[in-house]
Structure 1
């Protein structure tokens, strides 16, 4: 991606693919909980919802309101509960709780990919690059929401850890996820922060 002139592009599955899969999964009478990345960044969940109405089976489509680990944690919890024999209603209730208790931050090292993706103009990216700006955003109600701009890795780590400490004060953390795309050094710095594990449920 770093060397590519054009970024790889993604597209949501066709509605027919959802219909085919839903028919296969419900053929034996099974219920389906279909969890997807936030509708604020993709039309996938809307397509899944439309497909579910074209199938006779019992299908519940859920907008996770997240991407990455924010989505993954919901999928894992749903699978764990289903394996234990939990009802569809109980699983949905638990997922609702997880969404309310999840906070997800996104940051990028360079603004160049935002230019390639058409998110910002080259002039704005040039200014940002000259100032060494590294934007930090969160997913709020499933929508990419800018939160801060920092100018170094150390400032980025300080900001994220500060936000984390404030968010979990007096709480027990069920899980933490750090995902990266060719930013292993930064991910390792965050992982080593003691405050990340202080409140983590063992």
Structure 2
């Protein structure tokens, strides 16, 4: 039996990964990184489900906040089903203006609702992390060098996804692989990044079990 499987209640559970590409365009380096990551995970025998933001049609605006609920579009229902199914998730996207693209943020706003991602307590300021037990990788591209992003912005985009989104809902550890600058990258540099992403996927395929 492969090391990718563990025995739970007499059954075998494979590694289950949900890969989400959060770039609104249909082709990008984010897609390439996700392809490499998926290739690495599948080489280890992991089951992989994938969704691309560019294929999703939905209203990204949480108009009433948590005061009134909108019916989730079918693609958002599918996105939540995939995340619930997975024991490891990978999000690949570009850093734009210190955060994730607006349409991708719309997925989080619409999907990470009380009762799904977290449950607030009635009598204290704390909450239950309803997505606990999952791990995450984030593959983030930027046009600024990582060292400059750290010195100038404190890596705001990294903190945005890692702390108030993933950790808040219980998904941890959340490892961030940020690559850049993309606009001046050579083919050799991009090949190196793709290799790093594939290695992350292979590692996730071995651990997410």
For the pair shown, the structure with the greater C-alpha radius of gyration is 1
Say whether the fold is shared (TM-score over 0.5): no
- Identify the structure with bigger relative contact order (alpha carbons < 8 Å, sequence gap 6+): 2
Q: TM-score, normalised by structure 2?
A: 0.28
Greater strand fraction, Structure 1 or Structure 2: 2
